[in-house]
Amino acid sequence: MLRRKPAQDRKAEIVAAVLLLADRIGPDRLTTNDVAQEVGVTQAAIFRHYPTKAALWAAVGEAIALRLAAAWQEALATGTDPRRRLRALIGAQLQQIATTPALPSILHSRELNVDNAALRDRFRGLVVLFQDHLAATLGDMAARGAMQPSVRPDDAAALLVSLVQGIAIRWSLGSRGFDLVAEGLRLLDVQLDLFAGHQALA
C-alpha cells in the first residue's frame, strides 16, 4: 500500500501535477484521472483534498498568483535605474513562464475565463498590476530622457507586453528550442534602444 502524506503536502503535489499536465495535455482537457495517475493515487483521493475540480483550479490559480506577485516584488527591489528595473521585471516574467510553461495557456483557458468568474477577476487584477509596474518604470525612463517623446507610455507598455507574449508563443511552438529568458531579454534590449532613439552597438 502507498505511503500516506499529510494533506498539506498532498495538496501541493496535486497542484504541481496540474501545472505539469496542463502543459502536456492542455488545461481544458485535463481530467481528475490524469492528475490522480500523475500523483500516484486513485481518482477518488483527489476529491478528498479538493471537493470539486473547480476548487482544484482555484487552488492552482492562487498558487500562480502568489508566485507571480513574489517574482515581481523581487524584480522591483532591483536598484533604482529604471532600465535595469524594466529588465528585471520582464526577465522575472519570462523566468516564470520558463519554469511553468503552462502559464500562458492557463491564463487563456476557458476553464479559467468561462467557468471560474472569481478567478478570472483575480487574474485580471494581476495583469493590471503588471502593466502598472511597467507603466511606472517607463515613466521613470521618460523622466531620464531614455524615451523618445513621440512614443506614448501606454503604447510602449503595450509593445512590451506583446513582446513577452509573442516570444512565449514562439518558444512554445518551436518546442522550446532556445533559452526563453536570454532571447527575450535580447529582444527587449533591441526594443528599449529603439525607445531611446539612439543606435545600439553593432
The residues of the shown chain that bind its own copies, judged by CB under 8 A, are 25-26, 28-29, 105, 108, 110, 114, 124, 127, 148-152, 155, 158-159, 161-163, 165-167, 169-170, 173, 187, 190-191, 193-195, 197, 199-202
Which partner, its own copies, DNA, none, binds residue 127 by CB below 5 to 8 Å per kind? its own copies
Residue 200 CA to residue 192 CA, distance in Å, equals: 10
Q: Which residue has the cell 478567478?
A: 119
Which partner, DNA, its own copies, none, binds residue 162 by CB below 5 to 8 Å per kind? its own copies
| Shorter beta-carbon distance to its own copies: residue 73 or 148 | 148
| Shorter beta-carbon distance to DNA: residue 5 or 108 | 5
Which partner, its own copies, DNA, none, binds residue 114 by CB below 5 to 8 Å per kind? its own copies
Which partner, its own copies, DNA, none, binds residue 194 by CB below 5 to 8 Å per kind? its own copies
Which partner, DNA, its own copies, none, binds residue 148 by CB below 5 to 8 Å per kind? its own copies
Q: Which residues of the chain form contacts with DNA (CB under 7 A)?
A: 1-7, 10, 30-34, 41-45, 47-49, 51-54
- In contact, 152 and 195? CB cutoff 8 Å: no
| Shorter beta-carbon distance to DNA: residue 45 or 187 | 45
Minimum separation from the CB atom of position 77 to its own copies (A): 27
Greatest alpha-carbon pair distance for the chain in Å reads 68
| Shorter beta-carbon distance to DNA: residue 3 or 198 | 3
Minimum separation from the CB atom of position 198 to its own copies (A): 9
Can you give the three-state secondary structure of the chain, one letter per residue? CCCCCCHHHHHHHHHHHHHHHHHHCCCCCCCHHHHHHHHCCCHHHHHHHCCCHHHHHHHHHHHHHHHHHHHHHHHHCCCCCHHHHHHHHHHHHHHHHHHCCCHHHHHCCHHHHHHCHHHHHHHHHHHHHHHHHHHHHHHHHHHCCCCCCCCCHHHHHHHHHHHHHHHHHHHHHCCCCCCHHHHHHHHHHHHHHHHHCCCCCC
Minimum separation from the CB atom of position 20 to DNA (A): 16
